[in-house]
Structure 1
Amino acid sequence: MASITETATAFFEACEAGKGWAACAAHCHPDASFAAQAEPLADTRSLRDYCDWMQGLIGFIPDGRYTLKAFVTDAAQDCVVAVATFHGTHTGPGGPMAPTGKHTDTDYVYAMQFQDGRIRHMTKVWNAGWAMRELGWAA
């Protein structure tokens, strides 16, 4: 059985590449929950929906990529935390408006809570307003 660090790594890489729930599901409980205090994700409650949201995001930010800053396992709490910066430019079709050609470098944190070796819940900490302004989606 893979360690929670290995599982979190596989999930993180698939999710951030925009591969959607189909590629992430094996690392998660089918009903895994999601939470974020960020406007674009305010109504997103399942990890399935978040993974598919990321897949859509990569569709209109096709150069989307991340720089990993930290990846830490707290075995006592069954939690893995990833700290990263997402980089990307809105050049693809879709999203909240026509492509703006604007770029963002936006920091975020994933706290992945495990149960029985798979992700049960994930919290995303992200200043969405900052990213949306950088991308030209908000004033």
Structure 2
Amino acid sequence: MSFKSSIIKKAIKWTPTKIILWVTNIMLKGIAELTDFRVDIDARTSFVQLQLFGEAEVIEVWLEGFAVINHEESYQFILQQAKSNRLWLDNIFARIVGKAWKIPVIPQLTTYMPLIAELLNVDNAGQSGLNYPEDTN
């Protein structure tokens, strides 16, 4: 792992949740309110809780085993497990988990993709037990 990716991992770990919530809620103003957020890059887990405006209950999402892989001159996203407290969202997750999804080329992000892939590479997944699933594209 490069020095740059090590620094970024530490910055992610040390960023207070309140700052993440504050910035995200500015961006989601009028749509939703992010009420909780947790991410562990080493364990490849994340939890998100948000309240959609006009809805009575919060939506909770748990993600496990996510990675970005450099594969045949492109990048792919992998999600091993995902669940929520909404049946419709679980049905969507059932269609996408366990597959490698090609990330479209976005010119503004092209220079950052190698670093993102290094941060979220399967080889750096630690104890999460990620493996490379079948291609979907």
Asked which structure has the greater RCO (Cα within 8 Å, sep 6+), the reply is 1
- Which of the pair is proportionally richer in strand? 1
- TM range, smaller chain: 0.3 to 0.5
- Report which of the two structures shows the higher radius of gyration computed on alpha carbons: 2
TM-score (norm 2): 0.35
